[in-house]
Structure 1
Amino acid sequence: MFETNRLLLREYRPADEPFFLELFNSYDVLLNMTPNFVAPNHDRSLEYINSMKRTVLFVVAESKKTGVQLGFVNVHIEPPQNLDGSISIALAKDWWGKGYGTEIMEWLIAYSFTSLGLRRLSLKVFASNPGAIALYEHVGFKHEGRQREAVWKEGKWVDFLMMGMLSREYQSLRSQHSQNTPVCPVHDV
């Protein structure tokens, strides 16, 4: 288990299943997830959870104060020799715009580069998701490319943006800050 200022980042438990099914049935969350989720589907949601449990890192974000689940983040590395972690993150809508995404991403970046020894992190985001794009830019991700009209969504074609961060870029961000205060501290519990 890991912790940030306001969150516990812990293993998935069977008791989390109702939260995940609700998360994957939320229209607003579903709208911004990968194109595999075109409509809520109980069996596919369970398959997705099981696939995340097989990744190198899959944690549930939970409020320290209330014990309520907020969302999840995971890192998938394929093929392993490239040391490129592909990120997935989702928060329940009630927690959007409150800094939790930043808190999770800062922890994830630090953990991925300092503990997992990754060379880079990458992600895909819909161009129609300005909140997520702003978050990723804020924590240091760079735009690496665009897949034009990649997904049919809500009656129109939407672009996918590819974003990434290299370990040396993370180290540069850390060196720009005080040596005593890392950009993205990692805390084990």
Structure 2
Amino acid sequence: MAFTTDRLRLRELRQSDKPQILALFNDYQVQESGGVDYTVPRGDQFFDRWSGWAKGCTFFSILETKDTDPSFIGFAALGMQYSRNRDAEFSIAIARSEWSKGYGTEVTKWMVDYAFKGLNMHRVSLNVSSINQKAIDLYQRSFREEGRRRGGKWAEGRWVDMLLMGITAEDFWGSEEVATRQ
């Protein structure tokens, strides 16, 4: 089963995705911009642990172009630590070769929309490094900054803040953009 945006297909994780996932996580800039663990080379054991995480998500998808010969773009996920709270943690990673093409905007918008309309979430949350300005600019279109974990991540040889962002169902359903889409 696949879900789609204007240009992308969101599909299930397959074992055959392993080389692309490892290439994604072995790109220093991708790992450093989004990861919270040490930035180190990743191998088979990492993929096994990571795919276990992906399988535990409420919604997980590999992102690929809708072309007849699809290209791997990355992944997006909504995971919940406590289902009672219906608070989905949004995660996304896009291959560096696909940055600045609007895929992040397209997928983020779709995932937020689906979280509320398809999964009946109460809120969607995320964490982003304060030095990842491109991601912050993207997320500010849908999410509000709710807090800051000062010195929450070691990056580029220094401690940087982690921004905590979220959108509630009340924000989503009350937004003018949603009202015009209904």
Distance 1:61 1:76 in 2: 16
SS where residue 160 of structure 1 aligns? strand
SS where residue 32 of structure 1 aligns? helix
Contact 1:24 1:45 in 2 (8 A): no
SS where residue 175 of structure 2 aligns? helix
> Could you tell me which residue of structure 2 aligns to residue 130 of structure 1?
133
Identity, % of aligned positions: 35
Encode CA deviations 1:3-57: one digit per residue, 9 max, x unaligned: 0100000001111110000000001101112322421221224311221111111
Larger CA deviation: 113-122 vs 167-176: 167-176
Which structure has the higher relative contact order (CA within 8 Å, separation 6+)?
Answer: 1
SS where residue 151 of structure 1 aligns? strand
**1:24 equivalent in alignment to 2:21:** no
Contact 1:2 1:10 in 2 (8 A): yes
> Could you tell me which residue of structure 2 aligns to residue 12 of structure 1?
13
Contact 1:29 1:93 in 2 (8 A): yes
Distance 1:176 1:40 in 2: 41
Quick one: which amino acid aligns to residue 122 of structure 1? S
Contact 1:120 1:164 in 2 (8 A): yes
SS where residue 147 of structure 2 aligns? strand
SS where residue 144 of structure 1 aligns? strand
RMSD of equivalent CA atoms: 1.4
Distance 1:172 1:20, change over 3 A: same
Q: What is the number of equivalent residue pairs in this alignment?
A: 179
What's the TM-score, normalizing by structure 2?
A: 0.93
**Cα deviation, residue 167, structure 1:** 0.9
Contact 2:76 2:93 in 1 (8 A): yes
**Cα deviation, residue 175, structure 1:** 5.6
Quick one: which amino acid aligns to residue 14 of structure 1? Q
**Cα deviation, residue 177, structure 1:** 4.9
**Runs of at least 5 residues in structure 2 that lack an aligned partner in the other structure:** none
